[in-house]
Structure 1
């Protein structure tokens, strides 16, 4: 496969980010994935104003991702009828901005965001999440 000339390169699309998210999710350790059960990857350019206000975040560039849902560890013995599926939102523009400022691959950043959004939701420590990142494919 040959690389595209630099003048032909484009920023990854929302669909490209969704694909990156699915690949990153498949590479996470099984024990970690059991916390959340089935999860959807959703992508948007930015979080909504409502999300930013709820989290008391001023700039739409300050939120790279968000976990929304109830994992298996918190759901109890029975599933709730009408409960929305677990979702991890990836925010394309803030992630691209972060990528431009750091020496990491885009895939590594997406994996990091997934692990941290899921991990923070379940109260994992930064050390726990670092170990999960090291175990990820």
Structure 2
């Protein structure tokens, strides 16, 4: 799958976020990168930033949070295009949930790990 096709899948997954939730996302940018850090070669996505639930009045003038979806590990893990579509959707939802303050344990309980 080309990088362009993969980026479209990420965009499509973001478009599936309910509008009321999407409107609440604040100061966050989403990126596609080919590979994660070599110390975590199987990582499918990453959220870097300060979750909305931890922001206070001190939170101003900061760089946007980052959500990164990794193309290489996702493609290696999936057997078909349908698998890639489903995994990208799960990864995007998982990382956006971190932006909203959910931790990995909560996401696991909800089936989004």
Residues 119 and 113 (structure 1 numbering): CA distance in 2 closer, same or farther, change over 3 Å?
same
Query: Shift of the alpha carbon at 1:84?
Result: 1.8
Q: Distance in 2 between matches of 1:71 and 1:129?
A: 20
After superposition, residues 111-122 of structure 1 pair within 5 angstroms as 111-120=89-98, 122=102
- For normalisation by structure 1, the TM-score amounts to 0.62
Stretches of structure 2 that go unaligned for 5 or more consecutive residues are none
* Structure index of larger Rg: 1
After superposition, residues 1-137 of structure 1 pair within 5 angstroms as 11-13=1-3, 15-30=4-19, 32-33=21-22, 36-49=25-38, 52=39, 57=40, 60=41, 62-77=42-57, 79-81=59-61, 83-100=62-79, 104-120=82-98, 122-123=102-103, 124-128=106-110, 130=112
Stretches of structure 1 that go unaligned for 5 or more consecutive residues are 1-10, 131-137
| Aligned alpha-carbon RMSD (Å) | 2.7
Asked if the contact 1:116–1:129 (Cα under 8 Å) also holds between the matched residues in 2, the reply is no
Query: Shift of the alpha carbon at 1:34?
Result: 6.0
Number of residue-to-residue matches in the alignment: 108
Residues 127 and 32 (structure 1 numbering): CA distance in 2 closer, same or farther, change over 3 Å?
farther
Asked if the contact 1:65–1:88 (Cα under 8 Å) also holds between the matched residues in 2, the reply is yes
Query: Shift of the alpha carbon at 1:103?
Result: 8.3
- For normalisation by structure 2, the TM-score amounts to 0.73
Residues 103 and 116 (structure 1 numbering): CA distance in 2 closer, same or farther, change over 3 Å?
same
Asked if the contact 1:38–1:86 (Cα under 8 Å) also holds between the matched residues in 2, the reply is yes
Asked if the contact 2:44–2:74 (Cα under 8 Å) also holds between the matched residues in 1, the reply is yes
